[in-house]
Amino acid sequence: MKLSLDKKHEDFRDEVRTFLKENLPAELAEAGRLNTSSFSEPQHNLPWLKILNEKGWAAPHWPKEYGGTGWDEMQKYIFASECARAGTPSLSPMGLQMVGPCIMGYGTEEQKAFYLPRILAGEDYWCQGYSEPGSGSDLASLQMKAVSDGDDYILNGSKIWTTQAHHANRMFCLVRTSSDGKPQQGITFLLLDMKTPGIRVEPIITIAGEHEVNQVFFDDVRVPKSGRLGEEDDGWTVAKYLLEFERGGGSSAGLEAALERVLVMAHAEPAGGGTQLASDPAFARRYADTKIALESIVITEKRVTAALASGGNPGPASSMLKTARTETLQRIDELALEAAGLYGNVSQMAARQPGANIEPVGPAHSLTAMPRYLNNRAATIYGGSNEVQRNVMAKLLLRL
Ligand SMILES: Cc1cc2nc3c(=O)[nH]c(=O)nc-3n(C[C@H](O)[C@H](O)[C@H](O)COP(=O)(O)OP(=O)(O)OC[C@H]3O[C@@H](n4cnc5c(N)ncnc54)[C@H](O)[C@@H]3O)c2cc1C
């Protein structure tokens, strides 16, 4: 979105641009550009987090007292937008956007003092243990048991689709501490150490050939009760709070950068010759529709970010945002694949595998078109499927 900035924000944008120019190493920018998953691998996002943290810019959306920047909404937008343009590696949202705000909201003073600085410094890398085989959309049906034993809980069961669990040293998870009452009752929210004996992480390879998600098995895993966030049997309250940050947090700056890349691709020489895709009226119409959808997301996003930043509850707006963003993301991926043409074929994916001795062909941006398209099919499923988000909107907005 073209912004007309006042002097303060223009100066801020220039400051961010200069910082990125001077501090974003070329190899991290390259890794950010080639990333095709929902966020980068820790080998790339942790060094970038360290650089940001040294500058005090790791968590723009956190309150200042916990290490936030104190920026206004426009500054946060400008920062996200400049990072997306520069191709910075995308930071893991699990600590900064998800469990961090929950620890601020529900943690004890000891938990805040211990965990929050470790998230900023990248000393802790978190994963989310919500879903189980058979409990995804109907999350409250989860069965992983936590039995009280003195100062500990003993965990048995399994979590699935756990993104980057193979890299994480900590997990925030939901466990069942009681089977009495409604399914939502009897759930407890725990913070645990992934190195605890009895935890086993098994990979699940995605359709794009990548190892991003896992199944995690728990066999008599002893977790101290000091790792509980909120009250026993009241974890559902914390879980719902976190989901609003998961769905409402982040920004569409990455989508805007991706759509700009599509335009560059559409103006490129097509594989095998012929006219540029940009001159095709049908493509131009789909591009324009997508751009309009994206602009309306930016406006909703500002309202949600403002509500979250002022400690408010964005309510159904976070479901609207999650649905609109992920569906627009998929539209952009479709345009990118179309623009990559023959260069977007599946064999390009093989060239991206570590150690592959295959030279990719065609322009650099076409290399990521197919894996992004495949990976992002999951975007309308994770974080609560879009069908379920529509149920939330129907209930809360339309009162159906
Ligand atoms: C790539 C990826 C990464 C993920 N990462 C994590 C993670 O890090 N941590 C974590 O805990 N989970 C993670 N998930 C799990 C994700 O949250 C669940 O997949 C999601 O909530 C859907 O649950 P499910 O897979 O069990 O599908 P189901 O709930 O079985 O749904 C199957 C289909 O039925 C539809 N459906 C279900 N209920 C309704 C309803 N009431 N009304 C209308 N339609 C309905 C769904 O929309 C879906 O299309 C991830 C998933 C993916 C794909």
Tell me if 380 CB under 6 Å of ligand 1: no
Kindly indicate the confidence band of residue 313, based on its pLDDT and cuts at 50, 70 and 90.
Answer: low
Per-residue tokens: 386: 């879009």
Nearest CA to ligand 1 atom 24: 136
Residue in the structure block whose two tokens are 């691709």? 265
> With 80 as the cut, is the pLDDT of residue 17 above it?
yes
Kindly indicate the confidence band of residue 311, based on its pLDDT and cuts at 50, 70 and 90.
Answer: low
Nearest CA to ligand 1 atom 40: 388
Per-residue tokens: 221: 């895993």
* Residue 77 pLDDT: 86
User: Is the pLDDT higher at 209 or at 137?
Assistant: 137
Tell me if 162 CB under 6 Å of ligand 1: yes
* Residue 347 pLDDT: 57
With the C-alpha atoms ordered 103, 106, 111, 117, is the resulting torsion angle positive or negative? positive
At 249-291, the pLDDT tens digits run: 667 888 998 999 899 888 887 767 778 888 999 999 999 999 9
C-alpha of residue 317 to centroid of ligand 1, in Å: 20
* Residue 362 pLDDT: 66
Tell me if 172 CB under 6 Å of ligand 1: no
Tell me if 378 CB under 6 Å of ligand 1: yes
- Please state whether beta strands 170-176 and 152-160 pair in parallel, antiparallel, or not at all (unpaired): unpaired
Q: Contact 305/297 with Cβ under 8 angstroms?
A: no
CA distance 384 to 377: 14
Per-residue tokens: 297: 């997301």
Say how many CA atoms lie within 13 Å of 105 toward its Cβ.
22
CA distance 161 to 38: 13
* Residue 400 pLDDT: 78
> With 80 as the cut, is the pLDDT of residue 240 above it?
yes
User: Is the pLDDT higher at 348 or at 72?
Assistant: 72
CA distance 167 to 165: 5
Q: Write out the DSSP string of 68-97.
A: -----HHHHHHHHHHHHHHTPPPPPHIIII
* Residue 211 pLDDT: 92
Q: How many helices (H) and strands (E) does the chain have?
A: 14, 8
At 61-79, the pLDDT tens digits run: 899 999 999 998 889 889 9
Nearest CA to ligand 1 atom 51: 382
Using CB atoms within 10 Å of the CB of residue 56, give its burial: 0 to 12 exposed, 13 to 18 middle, 19+ buried. middle
C-alpha of residue 126 to centroid of ligand 1, in Å: 20
* Residue 1 pLDDT: 54
* Residue 59 pLDDT: 96
Closest by Cα among 293, 298, 380, 245 to 81:
298
Least confident of 34-48, 184-198, 349-363: 349-363
At 221-230, the pLDDT tens digits run: 999 999 999 9
Q: Contact 73/309 with Cβ under 8 angstroms?
A: yes
> With 80 as the cut, is the pLDDT of residue 25 above it?
yes
* Residue 248 pLDDT: 60
CA distance 93 to 338: 30
Closest ligand 1 atom, residue 127 Cα: 8
**Of the ranges 72-76, 127-131, 340-344, 353-357, which is most confident?**
127-131
Tell me if 388 CB under 6 Å of ligand 1: yes
CA distance 185 to 173: 15
Ligand 1: residue of 159, 161, 327 to mutate (most ligand atoms within 8 A of CB) is: 161
CA distance 332 to 75: 26
CB atoms within 10 A of CB 82: 20
Q: Which amino acid is at 251?
A: S
Tell me if 382 CB under 6 Å of ligand 1: yes
> With 80 as the cut, is the pLDDT of residue 361 above it?
no
User: Is the pLDDT higher at 272 or at 323?
Assistant: 323
Query: How open is the CA angle 170-174-177, to the nearest 5 degrees?
Result: 125
Kindly indicate the confidence band of residue 341, based on its pLDDT and cuts at 50, 70 and 90.
Answer: confident
382 backbone dihedrals φ, ψ, rounded to 5°: -75, 160
Least confident of 70-79, 190-199, 288-297, 303-312: 303-312
* Residue 371 pLDDT: 87
> With 70 as the cut, is the pLDDT of residue 346 above it?
no
Closest by Cα among 155, 164, 173 to 218:
155
What dihedral do alpha carbons 42, 48, 49, 54 form, nearest 10°?
150
Least confident of 46-60, 74-88, 299-313, 333-347: 299-313
CB atoms within 10 A of CB 316: 16
CA distance 5 to 319: 29
The residue-averaged pLDDT of 6-18 equals: 95
Per-residue tokens: 6: 């006042």
Q: Which of 132, 212, 246, 338 is catalytic?
A: 246
Judge whether 295 counts as a catalytic residue.
no
Nearest CA to ligand 1 atom 2: 382
Percent of the chain at pLDDT above 90?
A: 67
Tell me if 328 CB under 6 Å of ligand 1: no
At 118-177, the pLDDT tens digits run: 999 999 999 999 999 999 999 999 999 999 999 999 999 999 999 999 999 999 999 999
CA distance 83 to 62: 18
At 370-384, the pLDDT tens digits run: 889 999 999 999 988
CA distance 400 to 392: 10
Residue in the structure block whose two tokens are 């403002």? 306
Per-residue tokens: 222: 């002893």
Closest ligand 1 atom, residue 131 Cα: 11
C-alpha of residue 214 to centroid of ligand 1, in Å: 14
Least confident of 32-41, 243-252, 318-327: 243-252
CA distance 170 to 190: 10
Assign residue 206 a region (left: φ > 0; alpha: ψ between -120 and 50; beta: otherwise).
beta
C-alpha of residue 141 to centroid of ligand 1, in Å: 13
